[in-house]
């Protein structure tokens, strides 16, 4: 028994052995021990108890939150279902490429610019057409204001109406006073027929260079280049170029003699190099799409200087963003520079117009030595659904692929009226499958095609 007691007393609470000194008294071992080691840990117990109570309170609060969330969940699911149903039509339109992110603020800014433009035009003309447009703009402003507080007006409809009104304003500004009475402009309507090729020739550098453009001097009153023919070949990957070849006469061109070569950029990747099969010789200058930019360049043949202007629009396509396609995409054919009886044009596409064709007219200010954009129209024709396009008398014509030996002019947009015609079916014969460029010439009413290394010309009939 004493041994057991000694063993018990020899251990502390923490399990460590402790030596206890005792004295023998009347045949017994008497030891002095401290009994505090067996005291109940009240302080620790109270701390643990508080933690348990706190944990219990937290669990009760969490249970209440879970219960409340369970009650609100059906309401939240109903709200999500409602929002999803409302967004579904917009998802469909976005996936179809009809428009990108819609912004009422940007739409309001665009409308404000249109209102200012309409006010200027009406103060200058003030006829029945401008009054009608002004009333429509006022109605459109009311619709846009309503859209800020309700969802009753369809955004796509408003955007389409805005495009129509903008084109109407541009058309009012574009028609000169003598447009209907002078022989300078085409007054016989749309093209009615296109002949078989009247010129067929292989490009000067052979059929291996499948992209480029060519034609006749396009400015009727040009002096030094009045009878000249030109060829612009894209030597770098059929995408880039920096040289122009000019023949003084048609006979020189057909015989491939007496030509002069111009270099308008130091390299294919120079800022002034040409990108894509798009150029036109107009007067004493070559106009073309500038390398990796939303700009049109003007190379002066006499001074060897280059001037440029940036095309208007939100997200102008370049670097193969909106090329001509339909059957096979023609690489980097984003910006198409053209000339007709009314002047110089650029045909391209923008993100703001959902990838559809945009037409801008520009002029060279000889006194200020600057290129200036004068007017812009937006169409509803998707650029990637077109194999090429050209301008005639202020009318945009677009072509599509039929088969390896035929193209077809199927679409026309009249900048003078803002109207379009999708019923055309004018055939264009070709030799090869690919169509790099089309240029109309107002001096002889011919259309020039760069057809995968072949140079073809057609006569347009009205």
Could you read off the pLDDT of 58-114 as tens digits, one per residue?
888 877 766 765 565 455 455 545 545 554 554 444 444 443 434 556 666 777 777
**pLDDT at residue 392, rounded to an integer:** 93
State the pLDDT at residue 34: 63
Q: Torsions phi, psi of 79, nearest 5? A: -65, -45
- 270 confidence band (pLDDT: 50, 70, 90): very high
Residue 346: pLDDT above 90?
yes
Output the CA–CA distances (angstroms, integers) from residue 370 to 287, 309, 407, 435, in the order listed. Answer: 13, 8, 37, 32
DSSP calls for 247-293: ESSHHHHHHT-SEEEEE-SSSTTSTTSEEEEEEEEETTEEEEEETTS
Question: How is 51-92 classified by DSSP, letter by letter?
Answer: HHHHHHHHHHHHHHHHHHHHHHHHHHHHHHHHHHHHHHHHHH
Q: Six-digit token pair at 113?
A: 């610019």
The conformation of residue 424, written as its DSSP 8-state character, comes to -
Which of 107-121, 324-338, 353-367 shows the lowest mean pLDDT across its residues? 107-121
Cα 194 off chain centre by: 33
Task: Tell me the per-residue pLDDT of 300-310, one tens digit each, with 9 for 90 and over.
Answer: 999 999 999 99
DSSP structure string for 322-384 = S---TTS--TT---EEEEETTEEEEEEEBTTTTTEEEEEEEEEETTTTEEEEEEEEEEEEEGG
Residue 278 binned pLDDT confidence (cut-offs 50, 70, 90): confident
193-461 CATH: 2.120.10
Of 342, 339, 274, 268, nearest to 306 (Cα)? 274
115 against 313, higher pLDDT:
313
Q: What is the 3-state secondary structure (H, E, C) of 383-410?
A: HHHCCEEEEECCEEEEEEEEECCEEEEE
Q: What are the tens digits of pLDDT across the range 281-298? A: 999 999 999 999 999 999
Instruction: Please tell me whether residue 313 adopts helix, strand or coil conformation.
Output: coil
1-5, 238-242, 310-314, 353-357: least confidently modelled range = 1-5
Indicate the domain borders of the chain. 104-174, 193-461
- List, for residues 21-47, the tens digit of each pLDDT value: 777 777 777 776 665 555 667 777 778
Whether the Cβ atoms of residue 349 and residue 357 lie closer than 8 Å to each other: yes
Instruction: Give pLDDT, residue 103.
Output: 52
């Amino acid at each position: 028994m004493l041994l057991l007691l000694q063993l018990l007393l020899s251990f502390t609470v923490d399990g460590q052995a402790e030596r206890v000194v005792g004295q023998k008294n009347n045949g017994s071992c008497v030891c002095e021990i401290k009994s505090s080691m067996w005291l109940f840990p009240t302080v620790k117990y109270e701390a643990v108890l508080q933690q348990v109570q706190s944990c219990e309170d937290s669990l009760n609060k969490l249970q209440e939150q879970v219960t409340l969330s369970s009650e609100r969940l059906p309401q939240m699911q109903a709200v999500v279902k409602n929002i999803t149903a409302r967004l579904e039509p917009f998802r469909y339109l976005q996936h179809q490429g009809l428009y990108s992110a819609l912004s009422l603020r940007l739409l309001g800014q665009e409308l404000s610019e249109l209102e200012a433009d309409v006010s200027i035009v009406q103060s200058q003309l003030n006829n029945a057409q401008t009054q009608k447009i002004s009333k429509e703009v006022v109605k459109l402003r009311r619709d846009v204001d309503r859209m800020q507080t309700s969802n009753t007006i369809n955004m796509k409809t408003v955007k389409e109406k805005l495009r129509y009104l903008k084109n109407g304003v541009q058309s009012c500004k574009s028609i000169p006073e003598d447009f209907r009475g002078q022989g300078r402009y085409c007054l016989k309507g749309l093209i009615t027929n296109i002949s078989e090729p009247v010129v067929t020739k292989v490009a000067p550098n052979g059929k291996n260079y499948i992209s480029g453009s060519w034609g006749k001097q396009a400015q009727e009153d040009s002096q030094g280049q009045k009878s000249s023919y030109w060829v612009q070949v894209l030597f770098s990957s059929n995408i880039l170029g920096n040289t122009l070849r000019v023949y003084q006469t048609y006979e020189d061109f057909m015989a491939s003699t007496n030509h002069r070569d111009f270099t308008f950029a130091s390299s294919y990747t120079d800022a002034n190099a040409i990108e894509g099969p798009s150029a036109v010789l107009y007067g004493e200058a070559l106009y073309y799409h500038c390398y990796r930019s939303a700009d049109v360049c003007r190379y002066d043949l006499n001074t060897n200087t280059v001037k440029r202007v940036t095309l208007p629009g939100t997200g102008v396509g370049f670097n193969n963003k909106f090329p001509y396609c339909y059957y096979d995409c023609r690489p980097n054919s984003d910006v198409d520079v053209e000339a007709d009886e009314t002047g110089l044009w650029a045909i391209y596409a923008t993100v703001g117009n959902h990838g559809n064709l945009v037409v801008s007219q520009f002029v060279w200010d000889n006194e200020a030595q600057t290129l200036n954009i004068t007017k812009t129209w937006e169409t509803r024709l998707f650029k990637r659904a077109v194999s090429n396009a050209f301008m005639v008398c202020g009318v945009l014509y677009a072509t599509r692929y039929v088969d390896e030996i035929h193209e077809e002019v199927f679409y026309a947009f009249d900048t003078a009226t803002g109207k379009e015609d999708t019923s055309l079916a004018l055939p264009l014969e070709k030799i090869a499958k690919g169509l790099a460029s089309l240029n109309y010439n107002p001096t002889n009413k011919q259309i020039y095609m760069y057809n995968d290394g072949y140079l073809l010309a057609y006569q347009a009939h009205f």
